[in-house]
Chains A and B, each alone.
Chain A
Amino acid sequence: MNNSLLIVLIASGVAYGTPLLYAALGELLAERSGVLNLGVEGMMLVGAVMGFWTVQRLHTTTAVALAVAIGVAALAGAVMASIHAFLVITLRASQIVSGLALTIFAGVYGLSSYLGNNLNLADQPASHTFSAFFPSSMQKWPIVGPIVFGQNVLVYVSWACVALISLYLSRTRPGLNLRAVGESPAAADTMGINVTAYRYAHTIVGGAFAGIGGATVTLAITPQWVDGITYGAGWIAIALVIFAFWRPELCLVGAYFFGALEALAPQLQARNIRLGPTVLWTSSLPYVMTILVLVVVSSGTARRRLGAPSALGVAYVREER
């Protein structure tokens, strides 16, 4: 039963969805502070390449190498995000164009490709990869075996992140301040909250999360580096935040849903199930689904008052002293 299509899809959905989840959580934090960062794809790719590079270069135990690699990936993503943060927060540039610039700069035509090729990272397997955390005996348990216990530690950490971020937003003072900054920076400023600091901090942390998401791909899912290995996952992550109404718990659901869609193609092929023509449909499916979900969500949201932080995308200019 554990080999049935459904179980495998869900288990793979969790695995494939984890990079999406990390990236979406990061973007959620940034957007909650009012900063739209469209550079997620670029940040993920840089995280992916730098994480992979670290693992290839470090000659220590697997655990240490992987931990350091994740740290490096997070740092790489954070550095990328700080460029965007500086441009849009301090220099008040257009958040949309700056995010696009970040994607071009860091993405598949830019820095990540440059680093990957320059450092000769192609065509080699990763020296260390994340493997299943729990013993194989537990993985054989019906249903929960593969889905819950068959995952690597990055998946479990992501669950913790979802819980922590959720608590952060709803029950802590900094979380309340963050929400105020994203909704009404003028009010927050009057209350003495440092809008600039909150925006910088959350945008940069968002970048770190995206970097980790990218590293998840090269170190856990496809333990290899290829140019543009995320294939647009960054964009799906951005859509995911909208789809999840800016709530961490819903990000998890959405990420696994899209992860399952991604897992669909190889699974169908492996079982020789032909549900229609080809790779074209299954490859396009995640993107088309994202568009459909966006349409549904956007038309309803306008009326429903749940939704985007009100100050999202708008630079905050404090009244003059």
Chain B
Amino acid sequence: MSAAAETAVSMVGITKRFPGVVANDRVDFEATVGEVHALLGENGAGKTTLSHVLTGLYRADEGRISLYGRPVAFAAPREAIDAGVCMVHQQFRLVERFTVAENLVLGDRRGAGRSFRIDPSAVESQVRDLGERYRLPVDPHARIWQLSVGEQQRVEILNALYQDAKVLILDEPTSVLTPDEAATLFETLRQMAAEGRTVIFISHKLHEVMAVSDRVTVLRAGRLVGTVRTADATPQSLASLMVGRDIETRRRTRGPQSGSADVLKVENLWADGDRGTPALKGVSFTVREGEVVAVAGVAGNGQRELAEAITGLRPCTKGTIRVGDELLDHADPRASFDAGVGYVPEDRLGTGVAPNLPISMNLELRSFRNNSFGPLLRLRRMRASAQDAIDRFEIKTSGTQMQTAQLSGGNLQKVVIAREFSSGKLTVLVAASPTRGLDVAAVETVHSYLLDAAESGTAVLLLSEDLDEILALNDRILVMYEGRLSEVGNRESIEEIGLRMAGGAPGSAPLSGS
């Protein structure tokens, strides 16, 4: 990176408000040509908001933006793209049913793109060229739904490159990649920067920021904390800037009691995914009473199907699931509930709660049958226990009848947790990505609930894509790859975990059948 680099992006005094929260508070940000600039902060710090302001999705309430020295005010994402500012979002903006080529044609506005008649095949050679040049190989004929999440991300990046983006913003790109794929991505980013583009890399992961960036801007609670050169920083210094206090180090210090029984026994489990092909291929493992087993892996390798199988939402084609002495031999959520299996699902607003119904109903979603008098509901009892749960778990709400979807992410998760915990003693708790999208305080709260459950003897199965979370909360680590499980020998070794996430298996034998 040259010494006197030209400023590519300059944002001064950006303020953006939403009802009840100031997402960005007089933030200054500036990135130069040819650099990889990281935007670091916890969930809720305002990183995505700032980038949405830059790319025209949001309009800032105050502040100025300039691009290469000229002031700009994008009214829509399209204007930003036309000016060369492209974003690769966490939720991809791709049309699933189209092919890769068609998606690229869709966004194309220059030159040949202006024509009335289209010919996706003309795009193909360019897709292959770009793919080779930037290490983003993708088949132009493939339809998006056929691609893995990592490949879909490549398409998003290719899209930006096809539009000749000068400023590229990536929002938490590695959450869907294995460590190796992440490393390849970093090389691609460095290559782009070397060509004179500007790469803005949003993350909350310290080690990645250290690995790929030239400079780091840290945000905390909507405010700018500072901008430093990566070379001058250490993970500790960045961490303290990011959090402003000691990081939560409540790591799991006590394992399960010695001699405790196996509570969850899964043997040779096979199950089909939504497309009819096997998603679980002979998974076997056990979880003991009071033990926390963390399952790492990139999304889409069978974690969701595993969680659904154990909680009775997905039938198994082969194998058994045992909870205590109960054999759960057919997919029945009621049977799982009776056996004491709790579930904190990945999609809170989908499986977790019925969004338009009041909180009191959602809190009783599994136990209403026990709270009834024959076919009639005991409404007053339901309302009382709902209020009780709200008090105990400190859920911020305007009343038991408030519509559930109106709650903030953290409070919504509390409702789910409160419901699962209130139904009597939990034998097993399956938690899938329980802290995704939550702010710092909420993450800590959820983690403490999980650990409390383990302390009181519940067998906890944690499935997460967040390596930090896995490392903080485990007695054992398993890794899921393409429907098969393997156990990690050295729990401190990120290399081993990463290797297993990508399908390798050093030394120790995998736990699954063939």
Residue ranges of A at the interface with B (Cβ–Cβ < 8 Å): 171-174, 176-177, 179-180, 183-184, 186-193, 303, 305, 310, 319-321
Contact = CB atoms under 8 A, between A and B. Distances in A.
Given A171-B118, A190-B93, A305-B97, 18 more contacts: A172-B118, A173-B116, A173-B117, A180-B95, A183-B95, A183-B96, A183-B97, A183-B98, A184-B95, A184-B96, A189-B77, A190-B78, A191-B93, A191-B107, A192-B78, A192-B81, A193-B106, A321-B59
A191 B118 contact: no
Of B82, B102, B105, B107, the most chain A CB neighbours within 10 A belong to B107
B81 A187 contact: no
Contacts of A191: 78, 81, 93, 106-107
A184 B78 contact: no
Contacts of B109: 192
B116 A188 contact: no
B57 A321 contact: yes
Interface in B31-59: 57-59
Interface in B87-112: 93-98, 102-103, 105-107, 109
A318 to B, nearest CB: 9
B145 interface: yes
Contact of B58 (A173, A184, A321): A321
B101 to A, nearest CB: 11
A305 B276 CA distance: 12
B483 to A, nearest CB: 20
Contacts of A192: 76-78, 81-82, 109
The SS class assigned to the A binding surface is helix
A240 B102 CA distance: 27
B167 to A, nearest CB: 16
Interface residues of B, number: 28
Contacts of A177: 106
A240 B130 CA distance: 43
Contacts of A319: 57
Given A180-B95, A183-B95, A183-B98, A188 B106 contact: yes
B115 interface: yes
A173 B57 contact: no
Binding site secondary structure of chain B: loop
A253 to B, nearest CB: 23
A310 B97 contact: yes
29 contacts: A171-B119, A173-B105, A173-B115, A173-B116, A173-B118, A176-B106, A179-B95, A179-B97, A179-B98, A180-B98, A183-B97, A183-B98, A186-B93, A187-B93, A187-B94, A187-B103, A187-B106, A188-B106, A190-B78, A191-B81, A191-B106, A191-B107, A192-B81, A192-B82, A303-B276, A305-B97, A305-B145, A319-B57, A321-B57
Nearest to B159: A191
Residue with the greatest number of chain A CB neighbours at <10 A, chosen from B57, B145, B276 = B57
Of the listed residues B75, B94, B119, the one surrounded by the most CB atoms of chain A closer than 10 A to its CB is B94
Contacts of A188: 95, 106
A197 to B, nearest CB: 13
Contacts of A320: 58
A314 to B, nearest CB: 14
A188 B93 CA distance: 8
Contact of A184 (B75, B81, B94, B107): B94
Nearest to A320: B58
A270 to B, nearest CB: 47
Contacts of B93: 184, 186-187, 190-191
A172 B106 contact: no
A179 B105 CA distance: 13
Contacts of B115: 173
A192 B95 CA distance: 14
Contacts of B105: 173, 176
A172 B116 CA distance: 6
Closest 10 CB pairs of A and B: A192-B78, A187-B93, A184-B95, A190-B93, A191-B107, A321-B59, A183-B95, A190-B77, A180-B95, A187-B95
A176 B107 CA distance: 11
A56 B117 CA distance: 43
A310 B94 CA distance: 13
A190 B52 CA distance: 12
A319 B95 CA distance: 17
Contacts of A190: 77-78, 93
Interface string B115-131: 11111000000000000
A189 B145 CA distance: 20
Nearest to A311: B95
Contact of A176 (B57, B78, B94, B118): B118
